[in-house]
């Protein structure tokens, strides 16, 4: 039976540590970390995330700036807002909530954010730094996964890591983080052949595809670390809606060494890592690093 990784508790611990360091930074330098979150349109899931980001930023002792723009906002207007936030000394982190409406080029907007304020780690400069092993901002969800993996095993060196999912937000950055730890990394996706066999070879298995239960219990290597990034809303037989991951938890928990639940695993760590990245940016801006 696997040990269940408590992401909620780990996230709370990280938020506490960020809040303490924030107090110290304020006392020492007078600088208060500032996080600006921009949301375009009225996607309900995005609205929930953005509200939580603002709330947790305030709880950590940050300043929070939320910009809510209508769905028909032009790309030019959004780029102007990014320019304004880049110039604003109170703002140390800028997050533009994705997805953006179809008429806006997401990567163009992200690349307009100053790389020093790109606490999402999506700017090509930060992506490049991660790939070459330089110090930049690392995307929050894979950063949270990496912390939980590192705390679950003594040494990652030489282990087989299989990442199912190749998104820019999770799969690709996760691969480079684990490569940096000297894992042998395979990125699998919807067209991968014999996915079950590949998963059975994984000492570290990260599922980030967004398909409920796609990773079956008997695909898990005994003793493996299983990280479930999927957050899928499903309706069960009684008509009730609930969240479930990409991994068949009940099957996998019997074989894994360590496993994250959904909810309460990866999810809570993401915003905690965003706060940690924003504090890092403010600490640098204050000349303390
Ligand atoms: N949409 C889903 N996840 C994320 C994230 O980590 N950052 C941003 N900006 N948008 C998202």
Kindly state whether residues 179 and 235 are assigned to the same domain: yes
Active site residue 120: yes
Number of domain units in the chain = 2
What would the mean pLDDT of 157-166 be, rounded to a whole number? 98
Domain containing residue 217: CATH number: 3.40.50.720
Average pLDDT over residues 182-188: 98
What is the Cα–Cα distance from 98 to 148, expressed in whole angstroms? 24
- The helix/strand/coil state of 152 is coil
* pLDDT, tens digit, 9 for 90 and up, residues 12-28: 999 999 999 999 999 99
pLDDT (tens digit, 9 = 90+) per residue, 66-114?
A: 999 999 999 999 999 999 999 999 999 999 999 999 999 999 999 999 9
Q: Is the CB of 116 under 6 A from ligand 1?
A: no
Res. 289 pLDDT band, cuts 50 70 90? confident
Asked if the structure places residue 171 within a domain, the reply is yes
Inside any domain, residue 127: no
Residue 72 lies in a domain: yes
Q: How far apart are CA 280 and CA 289, in angstroms?
A: 9
Closest protein CA for atom 9 of ligand 1: 97
Substitution site in 36, 41, 43, 49 for ligand 1 pocket (most atoms within 8 Å of beta carbon):
49
Question: What's the domain range around 50?
Answer: 30-114
138 falls in which pLDDT band (50, 70, 90)?
very high
Q: Is the CB of 141 under 6 A from ligand 1?
A: yes
What is the C-alpha separation between 266 and 139, in angstroms, rounded? 13
CA dist 250 and 269 (Å) reads 22
Q: Confirm whether 250 is a catalytic residue.
A: no
Residue 73 DSSP SS3: coil
State the Rg of the chain over Cα: 19
SS3 239: coil
Q: What is the DSSP letter of 215?
A: B
pTM beyond 0.95: the answer is yes
**97, 172, 246, 280: which is the annotated catalytic residue?**
97
Q: Are residues 246 and 166 in the same domain?
A: yes
Residue 70 lies in a domain: yes
Distance in angstroms between the alpha carbons of the first and the last residue of the chain = 43
Classify residue 76 by burial, with Cβ atoms within 10 Å: 0-12, 13-18, 19+. exposed
3-state secondary structure of 169: coil
SS3 of 216, please?
coil
- Work out the mean pLDDT of the chain and round it to a whole number: 97
């Amino acid at each position: 039976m696997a040990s269940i990784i408590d992401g909620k508790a780990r996230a709370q611990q990280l938020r506490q540590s960020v809040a303490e360091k924030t107090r110290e930074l304020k006392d020492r330098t007078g600088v208060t970390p500032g996080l600006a979150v921009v949301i375009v349109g009225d996607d309900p899931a995005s609205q929930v995330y953005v509200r939580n980001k603002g709330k947790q930023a305030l709880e950590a002792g940050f300043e929070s700036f939320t910009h809510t723009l209508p769905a028909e906002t032009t790309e030019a207007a959004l780029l102007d807002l990014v320019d304004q936030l880049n110039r604003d000394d109170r703002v140390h982190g800028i997050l533009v909530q994705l997805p953006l409406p179809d008429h806006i080029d997401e990567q163009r907007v992200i690349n307009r954010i100053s790389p020093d304020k790109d606490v999402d780690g999506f700017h090509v400069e930060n992506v490049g730094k991660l790939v070459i092993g330089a110090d930049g901002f690392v995307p929050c969800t894979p950063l949270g996964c990496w912390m939980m993996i590192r705390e679950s095993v003594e040494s990652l060196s030489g282990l087989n890591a299989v990442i199912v999912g190749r998104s820019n937000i999770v799969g690709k950055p996760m691969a480079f983080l684990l490569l940096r730890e000297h894992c042998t990394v395979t990125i699998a996706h919807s067209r991968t052949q014999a996915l079950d066999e590949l998963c059975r070879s994984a000492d570290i298995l990260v599922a980030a595809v967004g398909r409920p239960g796609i990773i079956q219990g008997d695909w898990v290597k005994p003793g493996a670390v299983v990280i479930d990034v999927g957050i899928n809303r499903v309706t069960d037989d009684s008509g009730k809606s609930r969240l479930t991951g990409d991994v068949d938890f009940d099957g996998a928990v019997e074989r894994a060494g360590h496993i994250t639940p959904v909810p309460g695993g990866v999810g809570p760590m993401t915003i905690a890592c965003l706060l940690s990245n924003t504090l890092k940016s403010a600490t640098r801006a204050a000349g303390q690093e």
